[in-house]
Structure 1
């Protein structure tokens, strides 16, 4: 390479945002050898064509990527490099989440106060309920409390509620042991999802109120701690109490309804309900619908939904059939399991054009 195209190590360091000592380290590790080394002085020089590699190396190290992974990314093609980056980010995010949970457990134990019993519940039932209800939660950074699960216990039953403002899902569980105490709080949804597999494998779990969270205890297993979220959870009771009168109902098989929703193009769906059928079609009417046999009452109705609102509400239902409680084309629809009334989802339609 002509000397005119070479830069001394100091100038190259400024160009790519690395220090001279870092460049020497990466040269000695084989990741970024200099273009030329003066045999008499040992001075190192770099070429302009090495700036892009040096900059990429710096950025990879800034996201805490270890040297072997950096070397693999720099040697890979775009597709493989992207996969390696995604794998590294997933590992970092998972480690950070584990650190947050671990810190919460330590923080809760610092006070030394014993947990206060809330309720004992069957593990598989609680795990199912957590996953079903959390399907209606939201990942809204402006309102982090909507990413949580509202747990309310009155000693005789435990209710779980989540909402993203377009859906509201609630399920009520009956304690498996002696009545507990009254308690209410909004628990971090991510912590509960992480704990769900262990809960499912436990015949019986006990919920205890702990400082800044709840503790989930099961015989023969390590306690799981789930944090409380700050902020006021929307009071869903007035919403449920103020629902308009049900003017019609449709009971339809769950799996065919889900398949029809999944096969639709676009992000909005229209349900035409009349004469013993639920017809599922695109909201824009651009193609024929899929008629599904149903048991219906009330007058004919056409109601539109965002697919991301309706599909999770239907998929979370228990049993082979779902029941839709209808309140006109612009009223909220209550989606229930036809044979299990303790899981209820409220879905808001979108206005007709």
Structure 2
């Protein structure tokens, strides 16, 4: 008769999350043998101290770890176990990337149509531009196109654009060779990120388009494919064309402003813009703020931002100085390099707060951020 401290396979399965059939398989493979087997009935019994190993085995199998590797992890010291898990994850990611590349090649060949030459660009320049613009993407399950990069090519220029609805980044590049046709599509942002090393190491990178993907290739390097997204990209051109006139312009040294944002308490900050310069202070209280020398033209104003919106828009700007084109406390601000204007970012401020009490704080709390007024084929992305 089994020991009273032992539990039958059904109870053990419920405690560990493994099915009885899986427990039998692991027992037969020698990975998790039962503590006792009834010689007459064949019933299997387990000890309470086997629960941890069984639960660990279940978690390892949930990440598709082979049995031999799982056994090594379970029997290893913590440091070695972590190394084995990292190695398994790295292999799984490499295998998934290889599958993705092969699938993109297969999809590109489904139509039987020849690929369309889009542009030829300097690889390092294109890689830097992609990294800068992709900071404005977002992973939104309800709107996956926000994770993509819009690529538009003409004989004169290649323009990259991305938006998360609160920021919009765009950069224009001059092709190394004039394109022969106009083309536009939205490329999967994650797949472009995985291709960045390939792009950066190609002195001259050629881009060709198929109905489902773009093909990236350079001399002496294997081709890379990045899939195209079919959803309609927000109509950023209409939004840019409808921006109000700039009322205030400020030129500020980038690094001190970034440092002030890094040290800012809270998640929002307010820029007080006057003819004497800029002052950054917390958005939820007056505070002394941090003075920032700047050249300012136009009337003064106060404008508030989420840190996660303003900081990346500033940090990707090219050069030591940034130019802020301000249109009001509730209008998009344009951020661009004071030296080079080929990278432009629009950032949406948070909604100004309104104090109903005269004895309230000097700086009223800011309301929630509003998205950019971007339109798509079927309505506003707002």
Is the TM value for this pair above 0.5? yes
Equivalent residue number for residue 203 of structure 2: 203
1:341 counterpart SS class: coil
| 1:1-353 alignment, distance < 5 Å | 3-9=3-9, 12-13=12-13, 16=16, 18=18, 22-27=22-27, 31-37=31-37, 44-71=44-71, 74=74, 92-93=92-93, 95-285=95-285, 287-353=287-353
Cα distance in 1 between the residues matched to 2:60 and 2:286: 47
Root-mean-square deviation (Å): 2.9
Structure 1: state its 5+ residue gaps. none
By how many angstroms is 1:114 displaced? 2.6
By how many angstroms is 1:270 displaced? 1.0
By how many angstroms is 1:28 displaced? 5.6
TM-score (norm. length: structure 1): 0.89
Cα distance change on mapping 1:79 and 1:165 into 2, 3 Å: farther
Q: Is the 8 A contact 1:101 1:191 kept in 2?
A: no
1:131 counterpart SS class: helix
> Which range moves more in the overlay, 85-94 or 110-119?
85-94
How many aligned residue pairs are there?
A: 353
By how many angstroms is 1:214 displaced? 1.2
Cα distance change on mapping 1:21 and 1:137 into 2, 3 Å: closer
Q: Is the 8 A contact 2:270 2:302 kept in 1?
A: yes
Cα distance in 2 between the residues matched to 1:211 and 1:232: 15
Cα distance in 1 between the residues matched to 2:321 and 2:264: 20
As a proportion of its length, which structure holds more helix?
1
By how many angstroms is 1:74 displaced? 4.4
Q: Is the 8 A contact 2:251 2:321 kept in 1?
A: yes
By how many angstroms is 1:88 displaced? 5.2
Structure 2: state its 5+ residue gaps. 354-382
By how many angstroms is 1:152 displaced? 1.1
TM-score (norm. length: structure 2): 0.82
By how many angstroms is 1:295 displaced? 1.1
1:117 counterpart SS class: strand
2:260 counterpart SS class: helix
